[in-house]
A and B are shown apart, each in its own frame.
Chain A
Amino acid sequence: MLVTAILVVAILIVAVTSLVVRGAGVAPSEAFGVFTGNQDGFPATVVLQWRLPRVLAAIVIGAALGVAGAIFQSLTRNPLGSPDVIGFNTGAYTGVLVVIFAGAGSFAATAAGAIAGGTVAAAAVYLLCLRSGSTGLRMVVVGLGISAALTAANRWLIRSAELETSMAAATWGAGTLNGLRWPQVVPGVLALLVLIAAAGLSARRLDLFDMGDEAAQGLGLPLRATQLWLMMAGVGLTACSTALAGPISFVALAAPHIARALTRGSRMSLAPIAATGALILVVADLAAQRLFAPTQLPVGVVTVTIGGIYLVTLLAQEARR
């Protein structure tokens, strides 16, 4: 509980920082003025209409990705089992590329393409594993296969399109919170909150599931149904996040590990995992906006870079021991 509370405080500090930081011609004092009611006009638009929805989206998407990661790691019984592994992200990217290159660039069309592509890819992996008995490793391998084929398709599409369209699509493909406004954020965030709550209800099942097939069945867990239910919750979380912000990598993979290291617990407890995911994403998004300002990086570029550096240092430390 303490860890979660500290994480929440940290999230709030970073969130407020992103709201009031200097930029877009708005000084921190003006930004504070918006909250105390002394300031309206342009600074109010920047803070309330541009920054607030984005920060909120970062927090909720981060939490959702963390929870999705926990679910998939349980489901595949593999510490590296993340939604990317089951081909979801790549499939969503394929869907979006097809939609964008077909000439439909609206947010709704992109979101629909992401969800359709991602779901089809995930369903394909699930169905291909179903008959041959889905051990975790097999699911990972089949996922890798589907992802690789889709990656090739994506690269081919990117290669064949006009440069400008390709770059826009690739920015989405890296995962970005740029340009999110209330009309997109409100429905997306509501859907994610419902899904996170649903996942919270099944947390006990995750615990049992981690004990292995036989033990779980012995304790009266309907294995197949649980698997399908968890899969649906995980895919739903990833689908909504991806529709909002594109495939943001690493958060789903890292949040459960970091949360477990922080709480020093092996038990699956979703609150710290969600908080860790949220913190990672708000920090990464702040960095993506500010590092090369005025150029805005896609946040996924930042998450994958800090994620990689984190892994490398971890390995280097172990090697020195």
Chain B
Amino acid sequence: MRLRTDSTRQRTAWLVVLVALLAFVAVLSLMTGARPVAPDVVLHALLTPDPADPDHSVVWDGRIPRTALGLVAGVAMGVAGALVQGLTRNPLADPGLLGINAGAAFSVVLAVGVFRIETVMGYIWFAFAGAVVAAVAVLLIGRGRNFDPVRLILAGVALSAVLEGIGQGLALVNPQAFDRLRTWNVGSIAVGSLQPVTAISVFVLAGVVLGLFTGRRLNALAMGDEVAASLGTRARTTRIMAVLATTLLAGSVAATAGVIVFLGLMVPHLARRMCGPDYRWIVVYSAVLGAVILLMADILGRVIVPGELAAGIVVAFVGAPFLIALARRRKVIEL
């Protein structure tokens, strides 16, 4: 299947198709689960909510927060993946490489094990702060004179190792922290209320806007630092913008949904196949595709096994064969 197109009209047309697909998946997500709800009942529940009706409360208490987080986290991970791959010029880069997941995990363990925090909102702010601090540290450690992306990745891997080591040590001597960490590690969007979603959506919005601005600069960067400089784009500023946007986006996801691997790696590849190498389009396509795939993974996890499989696990199971197939093709290794 060759979807790649070069005209703006075709790209817009495909985008409309994708958005329609996203709307369909979102409705499907409201309907599916241990207690299936018919489409007309979903519509009723949305328009005229009736707290006494059990179907309505299933939709409002369980599925709407879950679907909303799927949308927000999917968009965030898609854009974050596109930015990180453009930033490092590495098609295998994942937002987790910047130390974001490790930072969030470490502070979740700290919050539970050391500060005895027990509320969901408490973890969220801790995890988000941990992600931001870790990413800033990676940026500072990895900054050289000319901001070599490879160094950035190395710094991310190294800092992640330290944080994971200490975090795991702390968790293994504290059962509550361990329990929280193992839940967080599977990456689930099954939240109990809309509160966490609204809490992070400002950061996600800021990250997406920043990401859209970075898109055009990344196009220049893709031609090499010298060419970019001669076109008047500063590589350094672009990379800092991309890291900041990625941190806001992936940090929000880590704080609310836990570790979702592979989504950020896989989605930009699909986007690139559909819309070509222009990063302005890749960012937009990645946003929509990320949400579609995360919601589909979550729906799949609800139906394939009794007791549900977390969305993060399903994404990894789907993503791994994708990555392997990618590696076996000769050309895709270099970007």
**Residue from the list A159, A163, A297, A319 in contact with B186, Cβ < 8 A:** A159
Residue contact B312 to A152, C-beta cutoff 8 Å: yes
How far is it, in angstroms, between the C-alpha of A238 and the C-alpha of B156 when the chains are bound? Answer: 26
**Residue from the list B141, B168, B182 in contact with A166, Cβ < 8 A:** B182
In the complex, B80 has a CB within 8 A of chain A = no
Smallest beta-carbon distance B190→chain A, Å: 13
For this complex, into which size category does the number of interface residues on chain B fall?
Answer: 35 or more
How far is it, in angstroms, between the C-alpha of A216 and the C-alpha of B163 when the chains are bound? Answer: 41
In the complex, A20 has a CB within 8 A of chain B = no
CB neighbours (8 Å) of B154 from chain A are 311, 315
In the complex, B270 has a CB within 8 A of chain A = no
In the complex, B36 has a CB within 8 A of chain A = no
CB neighbours (8 Å) of B313 from chain A are 152-153, 155-156
CB neighbours (8 Å) of B160 from chain A are 308
A:285-321 near B, CB below 8 Å: 292, 295, 297-298, 301-305, 307-309, 311-312, 315-316, 318-319
**Residue from the list B166, B309, B324 in contact with A305, Cβ < 8 A:** B166
In the complex, B212 has a CB within 8 A of chain A = no
In the complex, B172 has a CB within 8 A of chain A = yes
In the complex, B46 has a CB within 8 A of chain A = no
How far is it, in angstroms, between the C-alpha of A295 and the C-alpha of B113 when the chains are bound? Answer: 15
How far is it, in angstroms, between the C-alpha of A153 and the C-alpha of B173 when the chains are bound? Answer: 24
**Residue from the list A146, A148, A305 in contact with B169, Cβ < 8 A:** A305
**Residue from the list A131, A153, A156, A312 in contact with B162, Cβ < 8 A:** A312
Residue contact A148 to B316, C-beta cutoff 8 Å: yes
How far is it, in angstroms, between the C-alpha of A163 and the C-alpha of B143 when the chains are bound? Answer: 41
Interface string of A160-190 (1 = CB under 8 A from B): 1001001100110010000000000000000
Smallest beta-carbon distance A316→chain B, Å: 6
Residue contact A156 to B310, C-beta cutoff 8 Å: yes
In the complex, B333 has a CB within 8 A of chain A = yes
Residue contact A315 to B316, C-beta cutoff 8 Å: no
In the complex, B155 has a CB within 8 A of chain A = yes
Interface string of A74-98 (1 = CB under 8 A from B): 0000000000000000000000000
B:158-202 near A, CB below 8 Å: 158-166, 168-169, 171-173, 175, 178-179, 182-183, 185-186
CB neighbours (8 Å) of B326 from chain A are 141
Smallest beta-carbon distance A258→chain B, Å: 15
Residue contact A159 to B183, C-beta cutoff 8 Å: yes
16 A-B pairs (CB sep. < 8 Å): A128-B324, A138-B327, A145-B324, A148-B320, A149-B321, A152-B312, A152-B316, A155-B182, A159-B186, A170-B168, A174-B172, A295-B173, A297-B172, A308-B161, A311-B158, A311-B161
Chain A residues within CB distance 8 Å of chain B: 128, 131-132, 137-138, 141-142, 144-146, 148-149, 151-153, 155-156, 158-160, 163, 166-167, 170-171, 174, 249-250, 292, 295, 297-298, 301-305, 307-309, 311-312, 315-316, 318-319
